[in-house]
């Protein structure tokens, strides 16, 4: 049972990568078949939109595919690959792949104007950046209160928020037994 966690991750990564490649292949072949047989769809937006997803898939293949070596007892796991279910950037990359698949299917079924759905991703990124910037700016405005500026805090500078809440409720109550 040596390296059980690594073997489990290697199996999970292999299954995830195989499934991802098959779904991508199916979605892209579906688009190309509909484009050539039923409707005339533009090929340039398809190529431009799917390039990031294909690049991410290649990246996942490089970092996530387990590698094996031939040993005395058969194939032995050499490297399990990175965790493809990690939070943060990896999770965001999966979202890009899923969104690309959705936009490709929408463009196949609804027409070339559906490629505009792909702009939701950068628009959401701009929204997140703006709200983060606004929150930071608001947070930094409280720092000026100690330097003679006007802060947005309602509590006095010597009180914490917890102390202000306790005082608002009528002070601290002590129970004697």
Q: Residue 67 is inside which H or E element, if any?
A: strand 67-71
Give the model's pLDDT for residue 152. Answer: 52
Q: Residue 78 is inside which H or E element, if any?
A: strand 74-79
Give the model's pLDDT for residue 157. Answer: 60
Instruction: List, as own/partner pairs, every contact residues 99-106 make where C-beta atoms lie below 8 angstroms and the sequence separation is at least 24, other chains included.
Output: 100/49, 100/50, 100/52, 100/53, 101/23, 101/24, 101/27, 101/53, 103/49, 104/27, 104/28, 104/31, 104/46, 104/49, 104/50, 105/27, 105/30, 105/31
Q: Is the pTM of this model over 0.85?
A: no
Residue 171, token pair as written in the block: 């002070």
Give the model's pLDDT for residue 150. Answer: 53
Q: 3-class SS at 79? A: strand
Q: Which residues contact 176 (CB under 8 A, 6 or more apart)?
A: none
Mean pLDDT in consecutive groups of 10 residues from the start of the chain, 177 residues:
76 90 95 85 85 93 86 77 85 90 90 85 85 79 58 60 81 66
Give the model's pLDDT for residue 131. Answer: 87
Give the model's pLDDT for residue 102. Answer: 92
């Amino acid at each position: 049972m040596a390296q059980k966690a690594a073997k489990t991750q290697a199996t999970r990564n292999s299954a995830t990568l195989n499934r991802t490649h098959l779904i991508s292949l199916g979605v892209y072949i579906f688009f190309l078949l509909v484009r050539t047989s039923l409707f005339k769809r533009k090929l340039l937006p398809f190529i431009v939109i799917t390039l990031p997803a294909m690049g991410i898939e290649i990246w996942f293949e490089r970092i996530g595919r387990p590698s094996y070596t031939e040993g005395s007892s058969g194939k032995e796991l050499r490297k399990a690959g990175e965790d493809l279910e990690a939070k943060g950037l990896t999770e965001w990359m999966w979202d890009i792949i899923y969104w690309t698949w959705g936009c490709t299917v929408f463009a196949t079924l609804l027409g070339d104007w559906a490629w505009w759905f792909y702009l939701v991703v950068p628009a959401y990124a701009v929204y997140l950046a703006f709200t983060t910037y606004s929150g930071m700016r608001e947070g930094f405005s409280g720092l000026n209160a100690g330097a003679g500026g006007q802060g947005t805090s309602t509590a006095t500078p010597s009180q914490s928020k917890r102390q202000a809440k306790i005082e608002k409720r009528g002070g601290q109550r002590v129970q004697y037994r």
